[in-house]
Amino acid sequence: MKMQPSILVVDDEPNNFDVIEALLDDDEYQLNYASSGLKAIERLDSLLPDVILLDVMMPELNGIDVCKKITQNPRWKMIPIIMVTALTAKEDMVACLAAGASDFLSKPVNGVELRARIKSMIRIKQQYDELETLMQSREDMVNMIVHDLRTPLTTILLSAELLNDPNMPEIRKPEKLERITRGGQRLQSLIDSLLMMAKLEAGKMVLKYTSTDLHQLCSSLITDFEVIAAQKKLSLSISLPEVNEERPKVKVDVPIFRRILDNLLSNAIKFSPSNSSIQVILSYPESGGATISVADMGRGIDESMKSVIFEKYEIGAPVKNTSQLGLGLAFCKLAIEAHGGTIAAENNQPNGSIFTITIP
């Protein structure tokens, strides 16, 4: 349910609040009242309104001083302030704006003007909130990327340092070289994912289509992941349709399409409990094209996450000791859509999840 925009009216005359309330009676706003500037400041942290209507002429602390205190506080400075004043001199208007006010209204307040200015300020506040959310998401994204890049880099540096140790037994050197190779491959994969995502989002990724035997592609996928799955005691299987005639071929960009399948199967392995099974299912609908599903027996997908799980940097429920950058499924969606296809997620029964891609 969408929250009503909230407005804090600050005025030492209660009758003025009654006037504002009457003028906004037909609008869906949550109105709050403070009878002085000091009381308004005391309540700001608990209220955090979308707009403040602030009277200028008040005892103890006038509106301009209240405005300065609000706009100088990092927690409140994003709240638009409309100064309400009986003063008409341009110097007074300038003083209001210089104090940090976003707008002002002259008394007596006109209802049409009041509603128009409040809507304008709420729109500005919403844009600010959206920008703050975006900036926070980018900060979180940078932190996740740095963390994910640092892990393989640490492995590479540590292994290289050990290789330079003259006391390192010769028998252990191949192991360290293998760790360096795997760390480098992991770094390369992360960097490639970021670059591909950027190109796909910008529409600059040019797909190179090739008629492809998906039977063979899915079979090689299972073969390549068998060792990784065995380490978690997972069973991998594949379901291929019986084709009496020559197997149909589908046009895809093989490296990118293979990367989509790699991401889906890698996720299934990552989030599956030991001693469970994962199945890759290939089918050819009568309408043409192909459908590939990856079904696991993991924790499944919360209903609330189904609409956002394919968004960039969305990791769903965090899993302990599991790298979750939030790029894999976002890449799959962009890449499949670039192929003219679709991707969908649903819960497996009795538990787990099924990710299905369909290409024309």
Q: What is the pLDDT of residue 351?
A: 82
* Spatial CA neighbour of 63 closest among 23, 8, 15, 113: 8
Q: What is the pLDDT of residue 324?
A: 46
Q: Does residue 80 sit in helix, strand or coil?
A: coil
- Give the pLDDT confidence of 203-242 residue by residue, as tens digits: 777 889 999 999 999 999 999 888 888 888 999 999 998 8
Local structure of residue 165 (DSSP, 8 states)? -
Is the pLDDT higher at 183 or at 282? 282
Residue 117's Cβ-side half-sphere holds a number of Cα atoms within 13 Å equal to 23
For the chain, what percent of residues have pLDDT higher than 90? Answer: 37
CATH of domain 6-109: 3.40.50.2300
Local structure of residue 225 (DSSP, 8 states)? H
Radius of gyration for the chain, computed over Cα atoms and rounded to the nearest angstrom: 30
* Spatial CA neighbour of 272 closest among 307, 219, 236, 326: 236
Question: What distance in Å separates the CA atoms of residue 153 and residue 180, rounded to the nearest whole number?
Answer: 9
Average pLDDT over residues 174-197: 80
Q: What is the pLDDT of residue 321?
A: 47
Q: What is the pLDDT of residue 307?
A: 67
The CATH architecture annotation of domain 137-202 reads Orthogonal Bundle (1.10)
Domain boundaries, the chain: 6-109, 137-202, 210-359
Q: What is the pLDDT of residue 347?
A: 87
Class of domain 210-359: alpha beta
- Report the predicted TM-score, pTM, of the whole model to 2 decimal places: 0.54
Q: Which of 46-55, 211-220, 302-311 has the lowest mean pLDDT?
A: 302-311
Question: What distance in Å separates the CA atoms of residue 120 and residue 131, rounded to the nearest whole number?
Answer: 17
Bridge partners (DSSP) of residue 197 are none
Q: What is the pLDDT of residue 247?
A: 82
Question: What distance in Å separates the CA atoms of residue 279 and residue 355, rounded to the nearest whole number?
Answer: 11
Is the pLDDT higher at 283 or at 304? 283
